[in-house]
């Protein structure tokens, strides 16, 4: 019984080591233009965590650098807390708070400051379905010519 326990730990250690090596290799060999996803949200607590976790989990395997910028248009629900908690764990997520409904000036500044990257703006305030974000970005990841 003790031998099975020791083998279990050995296999777990081997799996973790392989995982770290693969992630290091993928991050070292990044290719293509970085992608910046700008998510404009208001009252998005019901879907924002799923989108952010899905994108940050898939990012090491896409072969491109992915930055996520969440522009919050005065949400009164848990949206800001959710984004801040995930952003504290992931360095590629940032939060921009806007006190009004129209974030046009902030978006212009964000897009102008990103330099050489593909910017994808998703207005999730009932204009774009949250279900369209991940497949759209996956299309950028799979396209070798972008």
Do 96 and 45 share a structural domain? yes
Do 86 and 19 share a structural domain? no
Kindly report the CATH number assigned to the domain that includes residue 73: 3.90.550.10
Structural domain boundaries, residue 48: 32-142
pLDDT at 140: 66
Record the tokens describing residue 52, joined without a space.
């952010």
Do 80 and 50 share a structural domain? yes
- Report pTM: 0.68
pLDDT at 144: 47
Low-confidence ranges of the chain (pLDDT < 70): 27-32, 59-64, 100-101, 110-116, 127, 140-146
Do 21 and 83 share a structural domain? no
Q: What is the DSSP string of 51-104?
A: HHHHHHHHHHHHSS-EEEEEEEES--SSHHHHHHHHHHH-TTEEEEEESSS--H
Q: pLDDT for 14-51, tens place per residue?
A: 999 999 998 777 766 666 677 888 888 888 888 888 88
Number of domains in the chain: 2
Do 78 and 26 share a structural domain? no
């Amino acid at each position: 019984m003790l031998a099975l326990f020791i083998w279990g730990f050995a296999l777990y250690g081997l799996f973790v080591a392989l995982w770290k090596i693969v992630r290091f290799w993928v991050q070292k060999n990044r290719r293509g233009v970085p992608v910046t996803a700008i998510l404009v949200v208001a009252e998005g607590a019901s879907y924002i965590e799923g989108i952010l976790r899905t994108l940050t989990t898939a990012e090491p395997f896409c072969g491109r650098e992915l930055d996520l910028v969440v522009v919050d248009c005065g949400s009164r629900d848990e949206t800001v807390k959710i984004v801040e908690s995930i952003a504290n764990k992931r360095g590629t997520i940032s939060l921009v708070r806007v006190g009004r409904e129209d974030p046009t000036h902030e978006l212009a500044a964000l897009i102008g400051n990103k330099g050489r990257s593909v910017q994808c703006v998703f207005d999730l305030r009932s204009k774009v379905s949250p279900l369209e974000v991940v497949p759209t970005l996956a299309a950028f990841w799979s396209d070798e010519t972008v």
